Amino acid sequence: MDTKYIFVTGGVVSSLGKGIISSSLANLLKARGYRVTIQKFDPYINIDPGTLNPYEHGECYVTVDGHEADLDLGHYERFTDIQTTRANNVTTGRIYQSVIDKERRGDYLGKTVQIVPHITDEIKRNVKMLGNTGKFDFVITEIGGTVGDIESLPFIESVRQLRWELGDDCVCLHLTYVPYIRAAKELKTKPTQHSVKQLQEVGIQPDILVLRTEKVIPPDMLHKIARFCNVAPEAVIQSVDAPSIYEVPVMMHAQHLDELVLRKAGIEPQGEPHMEPWLDFLSKMKSAEDVVTIGLVGKYVELQDAYKSINEALFQAATYNGRRLDLRYIHSERLTDANADELLSPLDGVIVAPGFGQRGIEGKFVALRWCREHDVPTFGICLGMQCMVIEFARNVLGLHEANSTEMNPSTPHPVIDLMEGQKTICNMGGTMRLGAYDCALREGSAASRAYGGATHVSERHRHRFEFNSDYRSRFEEAGMKCVGENPASSLVEVVEIPGKRWYIGTQYHPEYSSTVLSPNPIFLSFLRAAIAYRDEKHES
Ligand code: GLN
């Protein structure tokens, strides 16, 4: 069959969850046996979100091939178990960069280079890139931003052209918002009507509307929206706020979203999607009553999306261990020796978060010392692992001024130092050690046990600094073992303190590869340790 293209646009406001709807649709199509991929087109001018601060754009996700990507790609992977790559996330910046490079090479043969057709052609080329590999039955393309924004216009125009070119092989789904006005006790359809009108003005008639709402929309109101928006009544479906994002595929299937899309694409749906494993996860999630309390120590705790993949990996691991996750954010800037007891003693396990720069770093050392001395299950990720090393150097090796050269370039004990290959780099964008690398784990180590005895794993990275191997033997002798290393470069990837309940730091980010149907083993193991510790505390 020809590759079918599904476009997902959003209207009225941002943050409606286009990523979740796209992921849910991909989940359903995959559960019907189709080969699916999802890609995100972002209208901003940054080449990728790697240089964006989490306050701007939440977490930066990393693909196996080392692309710094929008956090929606994390949803795509968690919902579908497909691996995304650099081709799955394109920004206006990337489009312009490529057009300008072509112009400089002379590829346009003296033509005036314009938004239409050159930018739109480049967008279309990128939209079809994955589809042209022949590997996919469906390519779902999420257009970032909100319809009506100036910056998303070239993307919307490209969708219009593609729709014209592709005919039945193209489906347009528009996600809008139906607000509930509390004072009037009414749901309002006008913003949706206006948003669809805006799409129609640029030549796109949506095939399917998904309405985000806090309250259930009654059938007559759905019908009214269908009539005024020129959409078939059965193609107006609602997405009511759900207790968990992982319920959305089921909610969408209950309203036949998958069948609608198939029919619009000219395919008669056969049977039902194979959703048993997903439903199994949901039933585990709903039946989990006992709690496990995990603290996440970081400096972006007020931002819901800054640690998205870690939150989800923890949630998945807690669910598979039969527990409800009680995740507490501990602001690293506010954690001191004076309040450590109060803030940390209720926790069954502590994660020290990734990050960059000095701010909040001292609180991470406080947490790590407290956890090490009280033998609380502790997991350091990336900067969190580097902080484990620094804290150990300061308080166990007695190197009081030990630091990372990221925080203090003139520290006498650079136990964490810039990687050799990073020393000559001037450009910040896309130049870290990025993507999946192999890691050899020492046989019998806690880290290897966490991975079910595996001695080789592959996980994704995003960092410039590394464990300084000059100090390796001193750490080993004093009890912090370097149990994971990259086979090619010998970079230390994992440290642990054996004999502790669970005290492991990974230079890599295992959270990026944790999905609903395939949770990351090291998170599962960390949660098991936290649960055992909780049970132990309760018994005594
Ligand atoms: N800032 C550290 C580095 O660049 C850690 C990065 C991270 O936590 N992702 O090495």
Residues 160 and 295 in one domain: no
Last residue of a domain, one of 280, 299, 322: 280
Task: Look at residue 482 in the predicted model and tell me its pLDDT.
Answer: 97
Residues 46 and 186 in one domain: yes
Taking the CA atoms of the chain, what radius of gyration do you get in angstroms? 25
Last residue of a domain, one of 223, 256, 280: 280
The CATH number assigned to the domain holding 249 equals: 3.40.50.300
Task: Look at residue 52 in the predicted model and tell me its pLDDT.
Answer: 85
Residues 187 and 327 in one domain: no
What is the position in ligand 1's atom list of the atom closest to the CA of 462?
Answer: 9
Per residue in 201-232, pLDDT (tens digit) is 999 999 999 999 999 999 999 999 999 999 99
462 lines ligand 1 (CB under 6 A): yes
Are the C-beta atoms of residues 290 and 324 closer than 8 Å to each other?
A: yes
Helices (DSSP H) in 11-136: which residue ranges?
Answer: 18-31, 54-57, 72-80, 92-105, 120-129
List, in sequence order, every beta strand (DSSP E) within 103-246. Answer: 138-143, 170-178, 180-181, 186-187, 208-213, 236-240
Cα 353 to middle of ligand 1, angstroms: 10
Residues 223 and 85 in one domain: yes
What is the position in ligand 1's atom list of the atom closest to the CA of 509?
Answer: 9
380 lines ligand 1 (CB under 6 A): no
Residues 252 and 354 in one domain: no
Residues 408 and 270 in one domain: no
**CB count, 10 Å around CB of 83?**
16
Q: What's the angle, vertex CA 44, arms to CA 40 and CA 48, rounded to 5? A: 65
207 lines ligand 1 (CB under 6 A): no
Distant-in-sequence, close-in-space partners of 375: CB < 8 Å, separation ≥ 6: 500, 501, 503
Cα–Cα distance measured from residue 83 to residue 265, given in angstroms and rounded to the nearest whole number? 24
Last residue of a domain, one of 280, 297, 323: 280
- Determine the number of helices (DSSP H) and then strands (DSSP E) in the chain: 18, 23
Cα–Cα distance measured from residue 320 to residue 525, given in angstroms and rounded to the nearest whole number? 11
Determine the residue type at 218.
Answer: P
Please state the domain count of the chain.
2
Catalytic residue among 382, 387, 439, 482: 382
DSSP 226-281: HHHHT--GGGEEEEE--SSGGGHHHHHHHTTHHHHHHHHTT----S----HHHHHH
463 lines ligand 1 (CB under 6 A): yes
Residues 251 and 372 in one domain: no
Task: Look at residue 3 in the predicted model and tell me its pLDDT.
Answer: 96
Cα–Cα distance measured from residue 55 to residue 388, given in angstroms and rounded to the nearest whole number? 25
pTM of the model as a whole:
0.94
Task: Look at residue 523 in the predicted model and tell me its pLDDT.
Answer: 98
Residues 205 and 129 in one domain: yes
Residues 330 and 413 in one domain: yes
- Does 333 participate in catalysis according to the annotation? no
Residues 67 and 187 in one domain: yes
Cα four-point dihedral sign 258, 263, 266, 269: positive
Residues 266 and 360 in one domain: no
What is the position in ligand 1's atom list of the atom closest to the CA of 382?
Answer: 8
354 lines ligand 1 (CB under 6 A): yes
Task: Look at residue 79 in the predicted model and tell me its pLDDT.
Answer: 97
User: Residue 20's domain spans which residues?
Assistant: 4-280
The parts of the chain modelled with pLDDT lower than 50 are none
- Does 57 participate in catalysis according to the annotation? no
The CATH number assigned to the domain holding 535 equals: 3.40.50.880
- Does 391 participate in catalysis according to the annotation? no
Residues 238 and 364 in one domain: no
